[in-house]
Amino acid sequence: MKRIALIVAVCGFAFASSNCAMCHNGGMAQKLDTLTPAEIVKKMKEFKAGKGNPMMVNIAKQMSDKDIEKVAKEYGKK
């Protein structure tokens, strides 16, 4: 049972990190298009370092720096 819970958690984090809009454009979290790509990168690196919201810390730790920059460009203020 613990193994199943771990698999579900890992899959959830993988999905969330590839679908930021799920929370950020759904009203649960700050809209990302209000932040510049540089602001998103800075915040994600803080999360990756273990600072801030535990959910975002776990998501950021699963992402490479290249992934973070890609997401920032995709979702950040145009």
User: Residue 50 region, left (φ>0) first, then alpha (ψ -120 to 50), else beta?
Assistant: left
Q: What pLDDT does 22 receive?
A: 82
Domain count for the chain? 1
Residue 11: other Cβ atoms inside 10 A? 10
Transcribe 41-63 into DSSP letters. HHHHHHHHTT-S-HHHHHHHHTS
Distance separating alpha carbons of residues 9 and 62, to the nearest angstrom: 12
Write the CATH number for 24.
1.10.760
| Cβ contact 68:45 at 8 Å | yes
Taking the complete model, does pTM exceed 0.85, yes or no? no
In this structure, of 6-10, 21-25, 51-55, 61-65, the range with the lowest mean pLDDT score is 6-10
pLDDT digits (tens, 9 = 90+) for 60-72: 999 999 999 999 9
Q: Which domain covers residue 21, as residue numbers? A: 2-75
Asked whether the predicted pLDDT for residue 46 surpasses 90, the reply is yes
